[in-house]
Structure 1
Amino acid sequence: MTEPYHQPGASPDVHLEDNIQEPRRYKVLLLNDDYTTMEFVVRILREVFKKSEAEATRIMRMVHELGKGVCGVYPAEIAETKVSVVHARARSEGFPLRCTMEEA
C-alpha cells in the first residue's frame, strides 16, 4: 500500500488538493444593436460558441428582445478570446455587433 503524495517540505497533514482554487469564470454576452442581422448573430453563436441551431436561435431572440444574451461561461482567457473573435468577425463583415464579458 502506498502513502498519499505530500508536497515536499509540507507537514504530512497538508495535501496538494488543499491549495487548488477554481479559476474565476466569466459570462460572455452579445449586445443588441439596430444593424447586425439576426442571421449573422446565429452564425456567430454556431461558429464561435459551438451552439446548435435551436440554441443559437434562442440566444439570438434573447439578444433581440431583451437587449443582451449569454453565449457561455468560460475562464477569463477563453472569454477574452471569444470576445475578440466576435469583434473581429463582426468588423470584417461590416457589423457593429458588440460582445462583452462579466464575472459570473
Structure 2
Amino acid sequence: MPEKVTIQRIKGFCETMGNFDYHRLTLSSEDTHDSNDSGLAVAEEKPKLKRPSLYKVVMLNDDYTPMEFVVDVLERFFSMHREKATQIMLTVHTEGRAVCGVFTRDVAETKAAQVNQYARENQHPLLCEIEAAGEDE
C-alpha cells in the first residue's frame, strides 16, 4: 500500500532537496581502493566561471542608405527608441561609424548578420561589423 502524502512529507522532501550538503559526494571505505583514504567526505570544487568576452556591433556609414532606413534598423534590431536611434544614426553619418550595442560574441554576430541581410533585402549597402570590446565596456 502506498504511503500517504502529507504536507509535512512534501516539506521535508523539499528541504532535503534544497540542502546541498546532503547531496555531496562521499567516499566510504568500501568505495576506495587506496589504503591512505580516511573515509572523509569530499566536496567537488566549484568550477571557476569567467564572464564571456564582449563584442561591439559597429554600424558603418555609406553615401546611399537613407537616414530613415538607418533609424528603422536601429529601432528594429537594437530595440532603440526613436531619439536614441536618431542620435546613433547622426553619429554614423558624421563620424563614419558608431557602436550600436555591446553583446556576447554570438549575439553580436547574429545582430550584425541580421542587419546586413535586412539591408541587402531592401537594396541598401548598409553594413554592420563586430569588433572586440575593451574590458571597461
TMscore range, shorter length: 0.7 to 0.9
Listed one character per residue, the Cα deviations across residues 32-70 of structure 1 (whole Å, up to 9, x for unaligned) are 000001000000000000001010000000000000011
**Hey, what does 1:82 align to over in structure 2?**
111
Matched, 1:38 2:67: yes
**Displacement of 1:12 after TM fit?**
5.0
The 2-side partners of 1:33 and 1:96 are apart by 7
Higher RCO structure (Cα 8 Å, ≥6 apart): 1
Q: Alignment partner for residue 88 of structure 2, among 53, 59, 65? A: 59
Instruction: Return the TM-score normalized by structure 2.
Output: 0.66
What secondary structure is seen at the aligned counterpart in 1 of 2:78? coil
Q: Alignment partner for residue 19 of structure 1, among 25, 29, 48? A: 48
**Displacement of 1:4 after TM fit?**
6.3
**Displacement of 1:79 after TM fit?**
0.4
Instruction: Return the TM-score normalized by structure 1.
Output: 0.86
> Contact 2:75/2:85 (CA < 8 Å) preserved in 1?
yes
Higher alpha-carbon Rg:
2
Q: Provide closer, same or farther for how the CA distance between residues 3 and 48 of structure 1 changes in structure 2, counting only shifts above 3 A.
A: closer
Q: Give the aligned CA root-mean-square deviation in angstroms.
A: 2.3
> Which ranges in structure 2 are unaligned for 5 or more consecutive residues?
1-18, 27-41
Decide which structure has greater strand share: 1
> Which ranges in structure 1 are unaligned for 5 or more consecutive residues?
none
**AA partner of residue 46 (structure 1):** E
**Displacement of 1:98 after TM fit?**
1.0
Q: Identity of counterpart residues, as a percentage?
A: 41
The 1-side partners of 2:55 and 2:118 are apart by 21
